[in-house]
Structure 1
């Protein structure tokens, strides 16, 4: 399954569905990330804990032999899923800002807010072109953080956007190039 298809699935149907499609399409790829951690859809024998998202759950797992290198094909596919998930988070952010009002105006109508959302959209467009390159992960991480801040306090309580952002953040920690080296 090509990476753009996984990004579309993550955007339209959520992270659990995208991970299920990835595992079904490529059972030969190892889901291991850095230090033996992995994120998979559905229950798994090596389960550490469930990882809630905005529309379901993934499983955070830990495998023996944590020094085994991550599978680059799986990591690239996860990067595409993270991109689709970040686009999904921006969509949720826009919907949230369209419903809120500040000083009698829709929050999204304020120029500064629109500028922040536009920055996220542009960063996503750039990230889409850079999928798999060294700077990709940092671009997506920035979009996730910026989008979550747009939710205000609503983004920090346990809601769908917060669960999605947390899952995207954890995926970055598990699969980002060099993530296993900087801790």
Structure 2
């Protein structure tokens, strides 16, 4: 059976940010790497867009602060298992669908991000600006992803036994702890 979406080698992928996000957001180098990793994962999975689950997976792989926020233990192992299994069944029901809660216009869909992922990028930038930082970081993006209960990343977290609301509350209560890269950078 032919895949519905042609696959590209990872080195040929366009890992630029959508114009509407890139114009507004200054991202840390680490977060730029996270986005490139999420883009490669989406293409490898045969998905048309990066969604919040791709971003979550890449955040956990590339950002020690995000890893520290989520915490270690059996729930993290289960979460990583769900994310890894996405291509062999868990995420197949999402293929061919757009991740959208209805709160965000679908205009970003053609530029590589699902509407929720694009909104999370903008939210991460605003979160960094509110903190007085010129660059959005991985924890900013994680907090932004957790803000929408209909995000695929939130669904994956909940299936793994991680309470997304509690995780967001922990980030919001201690914004400076994770903003400066003190947890392993």
TM-score norm. by structure 1 comes to 0.33
TM-score norm. by structure 2 comes to 0.33
| Greater Cα radius of gyration, structure 1 or 2 | 1
More strand by share: 1
